[in-house]
Structure 1
Amino acid sequence: MPRFHVCLHLSSGTELALPPGAARHVQVLRLQPGGAITLFDGAGGEWDATITRMGRSDVQVRVGAHHAVEREAPRAVHLAVGLMAAERMDWLVEKATELGAASLTPVLMARSSLRLSGERAARKRAHWQAVAIAACEQSGRNRLLDVREQLTFQEYLPQAAASAEARWVLSLAAGTAPVRERATALATADGVALLSGPEGGLSPDEDAAARAAGFAPVTLGERVLRAETAPLAALAAVLLG
Protein backbone atom coordinates (compact mmCIF):
# COMPACT_ATOMS: atom_id res chain seq x y z
CA MET A 1 0.00 0.00 0.00
CA PRO A 2 1.40 3.46 -0.86
CA ARG A 3 2.84 5.30 2.16
CA PHE A 4 3.14 9.06 2.56
CA HIS A 5 4.72 11.29 5.18
CA VAL A 6 2.68 14.37 6.14
CA CYS A 7 3.95 17.13 8.41
CA LEU A 8 0.49 17.51 9.96
CA HIS A 9 -1.12 16.34 13.17
CA LEU A 10 -3.07 13.18 12.37
CA SER A 11 -6.05 11.78 14.24
CA SER A 12 -8.62 9.15 13.38
CA GLY A 13 -11.85 10.36 11.78
CA THR A 14 -10.57 13.68 10.47
CA GLU A 15 -10.53 14.86 6.88
CA LEU A 16 -7.61 16.84 5.53
CA ALA A 17 -5.88 18.05 2.40
CA LEU A 18 -2.55 16.35 1.75
CA PRO A 19 0.49 18.66 1.61
CA PRO A 20 1.54 19.54 -1.98
CA GLY A 21 4.37 16.99 -2.17
CA ALA A 22 2.24 14.07 -1.03
CA ALA A 23 -0.66 15.22 -3.22
CA ARG A 24 1.57 15.27 -6.32
CA HIS A 25 2.81 11.77 -5.48
CA VAL A 26 -0.78 10.48 -5.20
CA GLN A 27 -1.60 12.01 -8.58
CA VAL A 28 1.53 10.57 -10.22
CA LEU A 29 0.45 7.13 -8.98
CA ARG A 30 -2.99 7.73 -10.58
CA LEU A 31 -4.80 6.82 -7.37
CA GLN A 32 -8.53 7.42 -7.30
CA PRO A 33 -11.22 8.34 -4.74
CA GLY A 34 -11.86 5.33 -2.54
CA GLY A 35 -8.22 4.25 -2.78
CA ALA A 36 -6.47 3.19 0.42
CA ILE A 37 -3.16 4.71 1.50
CA THR A 38 -1.03 4.83 4.66
CA LEU A 39 0.01 8.08 6.36
CA PHE A 40 2.63 8.78 9.03
CA ASP A 41 3.71 12.03 10.67
CA GLY A 42 7.07 10.97 12.13
CA ALA A 43 5.82 10.90 15.73
CA GLY A 44 5.33 7.12 15.77
CA GLY A 45 2.90 4.65 14.31
CA GLU A 46 0.89 5.03 11.12
CA TRP A 47 -2.69 5.65 10.01
CA ASP A 48 -4.98 4.07 7.47
CA ALA A 49 -6.47 6.68 5.14
CA THR A 50 -8.92 6.76 2.24
CA ILE A 51 -8.83 9.20 -0.65
CA THR A 52 -12.12 11.13 -0.75
CA ARG A 53 -11.43 13.68 -3.48
CA MET A 54 -8.93 14.17 -6.32
CA GLY A 55 -8.71 17.76 -7.54
CA ARG A 56 -6.46 19.20 -10.23
CA SER A 57 -3.76 19.98 -7.68
CA ASP A 58 -5.21 18.92 -4.34
CA VAL A 59 -6.07 15.60 -2.72
CA GLN A 60 -8.47 15.15 0.20
CA VAL A 61 -8.32 12.12 2.50
CA ARG A 62 -10.19 10.73 5.49
CA VAL A 63 -7.90 9.47 8.25
CA GLY A 64 -8.80 6.05 9.63
CA ALA A 65 -7.41 3.81 12.35
CA HIS A 66 -4.03 4.35 13.98
CA HIS A 67 -1.61 1.43 14.23
CA ALA A 68 1.08 1.67 16.91
CA VAL A 69 3.71 0.07 14.69
CA GLU A 70 7.38 0.72 15.37
CA ARG A 71 10.18 -0.37 13.05
CA GLU A 72 13.10 1.43 14.68
CA ALA A 73 16.49 -0.08 15.52
CA PRO A 74 17.15 -1.36 19.07
CA ARG A 75 19.78 1.35 19.60
CA ALA A 76 20.24 4.86 18.24
CA VAL A 77 23.21 5.40 15.92
CA HIS A 78 24.04 9.04 15.21
CA LEU A 79 26.22 9.36 12.11
CA ALA A 80 28.59 12.27 11.63
CA VAL A 81 30.11 12.22 8.16
CA GLY A 82 32.59 14.45 6.38
CA LEU A 83 30.92 16.40 3.59
CA MET A 84 31.56 14.70 0.28
CA ALA A 85 30.44 14.98 -3.35
CA ALA A 86 26.74 15.81 -3.60
CA GLU A 87 25.62 12.58 -5.32
CA ARG A 88 27.48 10.52 -2.69
CA MET A 89 25.80 12.43 0.13
CA ASP A 90 22.38 11.79 -1.44
CA TRP A 91 23.09 8.05 -1.63
CA LEU A 92 24.43 7.99 1.92
CA VAL A 93 21.35 9.74 3.34
CA GLU A 94 19.00 7.37 1.51
CA LYS A 95 20.76 4.18 2.63
CA ALA A 96 21.39 5.39 6.19
CA THR A 97 17.64 5.99 6.47
CA GLU A 98 16.82 2.51 5.19
CA LEU A 99 19.32 0.88 7.58
CA GLY A 100 17.89 2.72 10.58
CA ALA A 101 20.26 5.55 11.57
CA ALA A 102 18.70 7.97 14.04
CA SER A 103 20.44 11.10 12.78
CA LEU A 104 23.06 12.33 10.36
CA THR A 105 25.26 15.39 10.89
CA PRO A 106 27.20 16.70 7.86
CA VAL A 107 30.64 17.82 9.07
CA LEU A 108 32.98 20.15 7.21
CA MET A 109 36.45 18.58 7.42
CA ALA A 110 39.89 19.40 6.05
CA ARG A 111 39.50 17.01 3.10
CA SER A 112 35.83 17.68 2.32
CA SER A 113 35.28 18.04 -1.42
CA LEU A 114 31.89 19.73 -0.88
CA ARG A 115 31.89 23.03 0.98
CA LEU A 116 28.62 24.69 1.88
CA SER A 117 27.65 27.82 3.75
CA GLY A 118 24.72 30.12 4.33
CA GLU A 119 21.64 29.70 2.15
CA ARG A 120 23.26 26.96 0.06
CA ALA A 121 23.86 24.86 3.19
CA ALA A 122 20.23 25.37 4.27
CA ARG A 123 18.96 24.28 0.83
CA LYS A 124 21.13 21.17 0.88
CA ARG A 125 19.90 20.26 4.36
CA ALA A 126 16.28 20.57 3.20
CA HIS A 127 17.10 18.46 0.12
CA TRP A 128 18.70 15.72 2.24
CA GLN A 129 15.74 15.73 4.63
CA ALA A 130 13.46 15.22 1.61
CA VAL A 131 15.64 12.29 0.49
CA ALA A 132 15.27 10.81 3.99
CA ILE A 133 11.48 11.24 3.90
CA ALA A 134 11.25 9.41 0.58
CA ALA A 135 13.41 6.59 1.98
CA CYS A 136 11.14 6.34 5.04
CA GLU A 137 8.07 6.08 2.80
CA GLN A 138 9.70 3.29 0.78
CA SER A 139 11.26 1.33 3.65
CA GLY A 140 8.39 1.34 6.13
CA ARG A 141 10.02 3.55 8.78
CA ASN A 142 7.58 5.70 10.74
CA ARG A 143 10.19 8.01 12.28
CA LEU A 144 12.37 10.26 10.17
CA LEU A 145 16.13 10.30 10.00
CA ASP A 146 17.07 13.65 11.57
CA VAL A 147 19.33 15.45 9.09
CA ARG A 148 21.02 17.95 11.36
CA GLU A 149 22.58 21.33 10.70
CA GLN A 150 26.03 21.27 9.14
CA LEU A 151 28.89 21.75 11.63
CA THR A 152 32.58 22.31 11.26
CA PHE A 153 34.81 19.58 12.71
CA GLN A 154 35.80 21.95 15.51
CA GLU A 155 32.11 22.55 16.35
CA TYR A 156 31.14 18.89 16.22
CA LEU A 157 33.72 17.41 18.61
CA PRO A 158 32.73 19.22 21.83
CA GLN A 159 29.04 18.72 21.03
CA ALA A 160 29.54 14.95 20.68
CA ALA A 161 31.81 14.77 23.73
CA ALA A 162 29.06 16.31 25.87
CA SER A 163 26.73 13.34 25.24
CA ALA A 164 26.68 10.10 27.23
CA GLU A 165 26.76 7.93 24.11
CA ALA A 166 29.60 5.68 23.04
CA ARG A 167 31.80 7.52 20.53
CA TRP A 168 33.60 5.77 17.69
CA VAL A 169 35.71 7.01 14.78
CA LEU A 170 36.37 4.86 11.72
CA SER A 171 40.12 4.31 11.37
CA LEU A 172 42.63 2.27 9.39
CA ALA A 173 45.28 2.47 12.13
CA ALA A 174 46.98 -0.79 13.16
CA GLY A 175 45.57 -2.50 16.23
CA THR A 176 42.15 -0.86 15.95
CA ALA A 177 39.20 -2.89 17.29
CA PRO A 178 36.66 -4.22 14.74
CA VAL A 179 33.25 -2.52 14.73
CA ARG A 180 31.50 -5.83 15.39
CA GLU A 181 33.62 -6.47 18.46
CA ARG A 182 32.73 -3.12 20.01
CA ALA A 183 29.07 -3.50 19.01
CA THR A 184 28.85 -6.87 20.76
CA ALA A 185 30.08 -5.26 23.98
CA LEU A 186 27.33 -2.61 23.95
CA ALA A 187 24.14 -2.96 25.95
CA THR A 188 21.11 -3.16 23.66
CA ALA A 189 19.85 0.33 24.46
CA ASP A 190 23.23 2.10 24.24
CA GLY A 191 23.45 4.81 21.62
CA VAL A 192 26.51 5.37 19.45
CA ALA A 193 27.99 8.46 17.79
CA LEU A 194 29.87 7.22 14.72
CA LEU A 195 32.32 9.60 13.02
CA SER A 196 33.52 8.97 9.47
CA GLY A 197 35.63 11.07 7.12
CA PRO A 198 35.06 12.42 3.60
CA GLU A 199 36.97 11.31 0.51
CA GLY A 200 40.53 10.86 1.72
CA GLY A 201 39.42 10.29 5.30
CA LEU A 202 40.13 12.35 8.38
CA SER A 203 43.40 14.28 8.39
CA PRO A 204 46.02 13.11 10.95
CA ASP A 205 45.24 16.16 13.11
CA GLU A 206 41.50 15.42 12.98
CA ASP A 207 42.04 11.76 13.84
CA ALA A 208 44.18 12.75 16.85
CA ALA A 209 41.64 15.35 17.97
CA ALA A 210 38.77 12.84 17.74
CA ARG A 211 40.66 10.34 19.89
CA ALA A 212 41.51 13.06 22.41
CA ALA A 213 37.77 13.86 22.59
CA GLY A 214 36.98 10.27 23.58
CA PHE A 215 36.28 8.68 20.21
CA ALA A 216 37.44 5.07 20.22
CA PRO A 217 38.96 3.99 16.87
CA VAL A 218 37.10 1.17 15.09
CA THR A 219 37.82 -0.63 11.84
CA LEU A 220 35.95 -2.48 9.11
CA GLY A 221 39.02 -4.44 8.05
CA GLU A 222 42.05 -3.88 5.88
CA ARG A 223 40.25 -2.85 2.69
CA VAL A 224 39.75 0.87 2.05
CA LEU A 225 36.05 1.59 1.49
CA ARG A 226 34.66 4.65 -0.23
CA ALA A 227 33.61 7.56 1.96
CA GLU A 228 29.90 6.83 1.41
CA THR A 229 30.29 3.05 1.88
CA ALA A 230 32.29 2.94 5.12
CA PRO A 231 29.71 4.53 7.49
CA LEU A 232 26.95 2.39 6.00
CA ALA A 233 28.96 -0.81 6.50
CA ALA A 234 29.61 0.20 10.11
CA LEU A 235 25.94 1.07 10.59
CA ALA A 236 24.87 -2.32 9.28
CA ALA A 237 27.37 -4.07 11.58
CA VAL A 238 25.97 -2.25 14.61
CA LEU A 239 22.26 -2.52 13.82
CA LEU A 240 21.98 -5.71 11.76
CA GLY A 241 24.91 -7.78 12.99
Structure 2
Amino acid sequence: MRIPRIFHPEAITPGSEMALSDEAANHVARVLRMTVGQPLELFNGNNLTFQAEIVHADKKSVRVRAGESREDSRESPLYLHLGQVMSRGEKMEFTIQKAVELGVNAITPLFSERCGVKLDAERLAKKIQQWQKIVIAACEQCGRNSVPEVREAMTLATWCAEQDDGLKLNLHPRASQSINTLPLPVERVRLLIGPEGGLSSDEISMTSGYGFTDILLGPRVLRTETTALTAITALQVRFGDLG
Protein backbone atom coordinates (compact mmCIF):
# COMPACT_ATOMS: atom_id res chain seq x y z
CA MET A 1 0.00 0.00 0.00
CA ARG A 2 1.22 3.49 -0.84
CA ILE A 3 2.40 5.42 2.23
CA PRO A 4 0.01 8.37 2.76
CA ARG A 5 1.49 11.84 2.30
CA ILE A 6 0.39 14.50 4.80
CA PHE A 7 1.00 18.24 4.67
CA HIS A 8 2.17 19.68 8.01
CA PRO A 9 2.18 23.50 7.93
CA GLU A 10 4.74 23.94 10.71
CA ALA A 11 8.47 23.30 11.05
CA ILE A 12 9.43 19.63 11.22
CA THR A 13 12.45 18.51 13.25
CA PRO A 14 13.78 14.97 12.75
CA GLY A 15 13.31 12.91 15.91
CA SER A 16 10.61 15.15 17.35
CA GLU A 17 6.97 14.34 18.03
CA MET A 18 4.17 16.56 16.80
CA ALA A 19 0.42 16.65 16.57
CA LEU A 20 -1.16 16.65 13.13
CA SER A 21 -3.69 19.33 12.31
CA ASP A 22 -7.31 18.50 13.09
CA GLU A 23 -8.10 18.00 9.42
CA ALA A 24 -5.06 15.77 8.83
CA ALA A 25 -5.76 13.81 12.00
CA ASN A 26 -9.34 13.21 10.92
CA HIS A 27 -8.15 11.96 7.54
CA VAL A 28 -5.52 9.66 9.05
CA ALA A 29 -7.59 8.24 11.91
CA ARG A 30 -11.16 8.27 10.59
CA VAL A 31 -10.81 7.99 6.81
CA LEU A 32 -7.67 5.88 6.45
CA ARG A 33 -8.18 4.16 9.84
CA MET A 34 -4.46 4.16 10.53
CA THR A 35 -3.09 3.13 13.92
CA VAL A 36 0.04 3.36 16.06
CA GLY A 37 3.20 2.14 14.35
CA GLN A 38 2.08 2.79 10.78
CA PRO A 39 4.23 5.01 8.53
CA LEU A 40 3.43 8.40 7.00
CA GLU A 41 5.32 10.82 4.82
CA LEU A 42 5.25 14.47 5.91
CA PHE A 43 6.07 17.61 3.94
CA ASN A 44 5.73 21.28 4.82
CA GLY A 45 6.20 23.06 1.51
CA ASN A 46 10.00 23.50 1.42
CA ASN A 47 10.77 20.63 -0.98
CA LEU A 48 11.71 18.30 1.89
CA THR A 49 9.97 15.07 2.86
CA PHE A 50 10.10 13.39 6.26
CA GLN A 51 9.40 9.75 6.99
CA ALA A 52 7.22 9.56 10.08
CA GLU A 53 5.52 7.01 12.32
CA ILE A 54 2.26 7.29 14.21
CA VAL A 55 2.85 7.20 17.98
CA HIS A 56 -0.70 8.04 19.09
CA ALA A 57 -4.04 7.89 17.31
CA ASP A 58 -7.61 8.27 18.47
CA LYS A 59 -10.77 9.86 17.07
CA LYS A 60 -9.70 13.35 18.15
CA SER A 61 -5.95 13.54 17.62
CA VAL A 62 -2.94 11.94 15.95
CA ARG A 63 0.68 12.38 17.01
CA VAL A 64 3.64 11.31 14.89
CA ARG A 65 7.41 11.06 15.28
CA ALA A 66 9.40 12.51 12.40
CA GLY A 67 12.38 10.72 10.89
CA GLU A 68 15.19 12.07 8.72
CA SER A 69 14.50 14.56 5.97
CA ARG A 70 15.15 14.12 2.27
CA GLU A 71 15.16 16.79 -0.41
CA ASP A 72 12.68 15.85 -3.11
CA SER A 73 11.81 18.56 -5.61
CA ARG A 74 9.12 17.79 -8.17
CA GLU A 75 9.02 21.35 -9.49
CA SER A 76 9.13 22.26 -13.17
CA PRO A 77 11.86 24.59 -14.48
CA LEU A 78 8.97 26.70 -15.80
CA TYR A 79 7.37 29.05 -13.26
CA LEU A 80 3.66 29.37 -14.09
CA HIS A 81 1.32 31.94 -12.60
CA LEU A 82 -2.31 31.28 -13.55
CA GLY A 83 -4.74 34.17 -13.58
CA GLN A 84 -8.13 32.47 -13.74
CA VAL A 85 -11.36 34.42 -14.04
CA MET A 86 -13.59 32.67 -11.53
CA SER A 87 -16.00 30.04 -12.83
CA ARG A 88 -19.01 28.64 -11.05
CA GLY A 89 -19.04 25.81 -8.53
CA GLU A 90 -16.99 22.72 -9.15
CA LYS A 91 -15.45 24.05 -12.37
CA MET A 92 -13.13 26.37 -10.42
CA GLU A 93 -12.23 23.62 -7.98
CA PHE A 94 -11.48 21.22 -10.84
CA THR A 95 -9.28 23.81 -12.59
CA ILE A 96 -7.28 24.51 -9.43
CA GLN A 97 -6.78 20.83 -8.60
CA LYS A 98 -5.58 19.86 -12.05
CA ALA A 99 -3.47 23.00 -12.49
CA VAL A 100 -1.54 22.03 -9.36
CA GLU A 101 -1.01 18.51 -10.66
CA LEU A 102 0.34 20.01 -13.89
CA GLY A 103 2.86 22.19 -12.05
CA VAL A 104 1.34 25.66 -11.65
CA ASN A 105 3.16 27.71 -8.99
CA ALA A 106 0.63 30.43 -8.18
CA ILE A 107 -3.08 30.96 -8.83
CA THR A 108 -4.92 34.27 -8.70
CA PRO A 109 -8.73 34.21 -8.92
CA LEU A 110 -9.94 37.14 -11.03
CA PHE A 111 -13.06 39.21 -11.57
CA SER A 112 -13.84 40.36 -15.10
CA GLU A 113 -16.80 41.99 -16.87
CA ARG A 114 -18.36 38.64 -17.76
CA CYS A 115 -17.41 36.78 -14.58
CA GLY A 116 -20.44 34.78 -13.47
CA VAL A 117 -19.38 34.54 -9.81
CA LYS A 118 -20.76 37.11 -7.35
CA LEU A 119 -19.50 36.77 -3.77
CA ASP A 120 -19.38 39.10 -0.80
CA ALA A 121 -16.12 39.54 1.11
CA GLU A 122 -16.90 36.88 3.73
CA ARG A 123 -17.94 34.21 1.23
CA LEU A 124 -14.97 35.04 -1.00
CA ALA A 125 -12.54 34.62 1.91
CA LYS A 126 -14.05 31.21 2.65
CA LYS A 127 -13.69 30.26 -1.01
CA ILE A 128 -10.00 31.20 -0.98
CA GLN A 129 -9.47 28.99 2.09
CA GLN A 130 -11.35 26.14 0.44
CA TRP A 131 -9.32 26.46 -2.76
CA GLN A 132 -6.06 26.47 -0.78
CA LYS A 133 -7.15 23.19 0.85
CA ILE A 134 -7.74 21.76 -2.61
CA VAL A 135 -4.19 22.81 -3.55
CA ILE A 136 -2.77 21.02 -0.50
CA ALA A 137 -4.76 17.86 -1.21
CA ALA A 138 -3.55 17.91 -4.83
CA CYS A 139 0.07 18.20 -3.62
CA GLU A 140 -0.45 15.27 -1.24
CA GLN A 141 -1.79 13.20 -4.13
CA CYS A 142 0.62 14.11 -6.92
CA GLY A 143 3.87 14.15 -4.95
CA ARG A 144 4.67 17.87 -5.01
CA ASN A 145 6.54 19.08 -1.93
CA SER A 146 6.20 22.78 -2.67
CA VAL A 147 2.69 24.15 -2.15
CA PRO A 148 1.36 26.72 -4.65
CA GLU A 149 -0.44 29.74 -3.26
CA VAL A 150 -4.01 30.73 -4.03
CA ARG A 151 -3.71 34.49 -3.84
CA GLU A 152 -6.39 36.96 -2.86
CA ALA A 153 -8.93 37.56 -5.60
CA MET A 154 -8.59 40.80 -7.59
CA THR A 155 -9.87 42.50 -10.70
CA LEU A 156 -8.47 41.58 -14.07
CA ALA A 157 -7.05 45.09 -14.52
CA THR A 158 -5.20 44.98 -11.18
CA TRP A 159 -3.66 41.60 -11.97
CA CYS A 160 -2.58 42.65 -15.47
CA ALA A 161 -0.94 45.79 -14.07
CA GLU A 162 1.29 43.85 -11.65
CA GLN A 163 4.98 43.91 -12.46
CA ASP A 164 6.18 40.65 -14.00
CA ASP A 165 9.27 40.07 -16.12
CA GLY A 166 7.99 36.79 -17.54
CA LEU A 167 6.11 36.05 -20.72
CA LYS A 168 2.48 37.19 -20.50
CA LEU A 169 -0.09 35.17 -22.44
CA ASN A 170 -3.78 35.59 -23.14
CA LEU A 171 -5.81 32.91 -24.93
CA HIS A 172 -7.68 34.35 -27.90
CA PRO A 173 -9.65 32.43 -30.58
CA ARG A 174 -8.44 34.71 -33.37
CA ALA A 175 -4.78 34.99 -32.39
CA SER A 176 -2.11 34.37 -35.02
CA GLN A 177 0.48 32.74 -32.69
CA SER A 178 0.45 29.39 -30.95
CA ILE A 179 2.45 28.11 -28.01
CA ASN A 180 4.65 26.11 -30.39
CA THR A 181 5.67 29.28 -32.22
CA LEU A 182 6.77 31.13 -29.06
CA PRO A 183 10.56 31.59 -28.99
CA LEU A 184 12.75 29.62 -26.60
CA PRO A 185 13.83 29.80 -23.82
CA VAL A 186 11.06 30.81 -21.40
CA GLU A 187 11.38 30.46 -17.61
CA ARG A 188 8.35 32.40 -16.37
CA VAL A 189 4.81 32.65 -17.75
CA ARG A 190 1.81 34.66 -16.56
CA LEU A 191 -1.16 32.89 -18.13
CA LEU A 192 -4.57 34.57 -18.31
CA ILE A 193 -7.69 32.44 -18.71
CA GLY A 194 -10.94 34.34 -19.23
CA PRO A 195 -14.50 33.51 -18.17
CA GLU A 196 -16.94 31.21 -19.90
CA GLY A 197 -18.23 34.12 -21.99
CA GLY A 198 -14.73 35.28 -22.90
CA LEU A 199 -13.09 38.64 -22.28
CA SER A 200 -14.72 41.77 -23.65
CA SER A 201 -13.07 43.67 -26.50
CA ASP A 202 -12.07 46.42 -24.05
CA GLU A 203 -10.45 43.86 -21.75
CA ILE A 204 -8.54 42.29 -24.62
CA SER A 205 -7.24 45.72 -25.61
CA MET A 206 -6.29 46.36 -21.99
CA THR A 207 -4.27 43.15 -21.75
CA SER A 208 -2.43 44.09 -24.93
CA GLY A 209 -1.53 47.43 -23.37
CA TYR A 210 0.08 45.58 -20.44
CA GLY A 211 2.24 43.46 -22.74
CA PHE A 212 0.17 40.29 -23.03
CA THR A 213 0.59 38.21 -26.18
CA ASP A 214 -2.55 36.68 -27.71
CA ILE A 215 -2.14 32.98 -28.48
CA LEU A 216 -4.35 30.34 -30.06
CA LEU A 217 -4.67 26.77 -28.79
CA GLY A 218 -6.38 25.27 -31.81
CA PRO A 219 -9.41 25.37 -34.11
CA ARG A 220 -12.00 24.31 -31.51
CA VAL A 221 -13.68 26.45 -28.86
CA LEU A 222 -12.84 25.07 -25.41
CA ARG A 223 -14.63 25.52 -22.11
CA THR A 224 -12.79 27.72 -19.62
CA GLU A 225 -11.64 24.77 -17.46
CA THR A 226 -10.49 22.85 -20.54
CA THR A 227 -8.67 25.91 -21.85
CA ALA A 228 -6.65 26.36 -18.66
CA LEU A 229 -5.48 22.76 -18.47
CA THR A 230 -4.75 22.49 -22.19
CA ALA A 231 -2.68 25.66 -22.14
CA ILE A 232 -0.76 24.64 -19.01
CA THR A 233 0.00 21.23 -20.50
CA ALA A 234 1.19 22.75 -23.80
CA LEU A 235 3.42 25.22 -21.93
CA GLN A 236 4.93 22.45 -19.79
CA VAL A 237 5.63 20.37 -22.89
CA ARG A 238 7.36 23.26 -24.66
CA PHE A 239 9.12 25.01 -21.76
CA GLY A 240 8.77 22.76 -18.71
CA ASP A 241 9.06 19.13 -17.70
CA LEU A 242 6.30 17.24 -19.53
CA GLY A 243 6.96 15.01 -22.49
TM-score in terms of structure 2 length: 0.94
Q: Retained in 2: the 8 A contact 1:83–1:115?
A: no
SS in 1 for 2:109: strand
The letter of the residue matching 1:164 is D
Q: Report the counterpart of residue 184 of structure 2 in structure 1.
A: 186
The letter of the residue matching 1:168 is L
The letter of the residue matching 2:172 is S
Task: Provide the rounded CA distance (Å) in 2 between the counterparts of 1:89 and 1:97.
Answer: 12
The letter of the residue matching 1:56 is K
Deviation at 1:35, TM superposition (A): 0.3
Q: Report the counterpart of residue 227 of structure 2 in structure 1.
A: 230
Q: In terms of mean alpha carbon deviation, does 115-124 or 137-146 score higher?
A: 115-124
Deviation at 1:117, TM superposition (A): 3.2
1:219 aligns with 2:216: yes
Deviation at 1:221, TM superposition (A): 0.8
Q: Retained in 1: the 8 A contact 2:86–2:92?
A: yes
SS in 2 for 1:56: coil
The letter of the residue matching 1:106 is P
Q: How does 1:131-142 map to 2 (within 5 A)?
A: 131-142=134-145
1:81 aligns with 2:63: no
Task: Provide the rounded CA distance (Å) in 1 between the counterparts of 2:160 and 2:99.
Answer: 21
Q: Retained in 1: the 8 A contact 2:26–2:59?
A: no
1:69 aligns with 2:72: yes
List gaps (5 residues or longer) in structure 1.
Answer: none
Q: Report the counterpart of residue 51 of structure 1 in structure 2.
A: 54
Task: Provide the rounded CA distance (Å) in 2 between the counterparts of 1:88 and 1:108.
Answer: 15
- Which 4+ residue blocks in structure 1 deviate beyond 6 angstroms? none
Name the count of aligned residue pairs: 235
Deviations 1:36-94 (A, max 9, x none): 11000012111100001112310010000111000011110100011111210000000
Task: Provide the rounded CA distance (Å) in 1 between the counterparts of 2:205 and 2:120.
Answer: 26
SS in 2 for 1:240: helix
Deviation at 1:186, TM superposition (A): 3.2
1:147 aligns with 2:150: yes
The letter of the residue matching 2:6 is F
SS in 1 for 2:224: coil
Deviation at 1:233, TM superposition (A): 0.5
SS in 2 for 1:31: coil
The letter of the residue matching 2:157 is Q
Q: How does 1:15-34 map to 2 (within 5 A)?
A: 15-27=17-29, 28-34=31-37
Deviation at 1:178, TM superposition (A): 0.7
SS in 2 for 1:186: coil
Question: Sequence identity of aligned pairs in percent?
Answer: 37
Give the alignment's Cα RMSD to 1 decimal. 1.1
1:10 aligns with 2:12: yes
List gaps (5 residues or longer) in structure 2.
Answer: 239-243
Deviation at 1:153, TM superposition (A): 1.4
Deviation at 1:19, TM superposition (A): 0.7
Residue from 84, 101, 104 that aligns with 2:104? 101
Task: Provide the rounded CA distance (Å) in 1 between the counterparts of 2:59 and 2:213.
Answer: 55
Deviation at 1:125, TM superposition (A): 0.3
Deviation at 1:116, TM superposition (A): 2.4
